[in-house]
Every structure is written in structure tokens, then in C-alpha cells.
Amino acid sequence: MHGLAKDYEGRMTFEVVRFDEGDSPQRIKDYGIDKHGMLIVDQDKKKVWMESGHNQTRERVEAEIKKLLPK
């Protein structure tokens, strides 16, 4: 995650949040995500993509990021 944040700095905002801190429990419920996973939301906080952390790969995450960024 931190590597991706550096690669896309200034083009996308990344946030790493523990599942049990702050508003994470509510976000997990609202978005229907696993406690360990990745979620991409748009500027309006609408879910665009998510994947369980047990299934995600850097390549799949990066492919989704690239779909969202302007060419």
C-alpha cells in the first residue's frame, strides 16, 4: 500500500486505517468490506472497487487504479 501511495502521489489519496479505529467499524458495515482488504472510493465516498486482502495482488489493485486515473 505504501509503495502504491508513493507511485501515485498527487494523483490519488491513500489511507491505511485499522479495522477497529475511528469510524472504521461503520465504514466496514456501510461498504460491506472485510476487516482486511482494500477499498477505492470516489470523491463523494461512493464505493468504486473493493477486494478482500486475502485475494488482492498489487497487479490487480494497480489495474483498478489505472482505470480511474485520467490518461
Give residue 62's pLDDT. Answer: 92
Q: Where are the domains of the chain?
A: 2-68
Question: pLDDT of 7-38, one tens digit each?
Answer: 999 999 998 888 899 999 998 899 988 778 88
Write the single-letter amino acid at 24. S
Average confidence (pLDDT) over 54-71:
87
Q: Is 49 a residue whose pLDDT tops 80?
A: yes
Q: 33-69 burial string, b = 16+ CB within 10 Å, else e?
A: beeebbbbeeeeeeeeebbeeeebeeeebeebbeeee
Do you know the residue count of the chain?
Answer: 71
Give the separation between CA 55 and CA 71, rounded to whole angstroms.
27
Give residue 63's pLDDT. Answer: 93
Give the separation between CA 30 and CA 6, rounded to whole angstroms.
28
Q: What percentage of the chain reaches a pLDDT higher than 90?
A: 35
Q: What is the pTM of this model?
A: 0.76
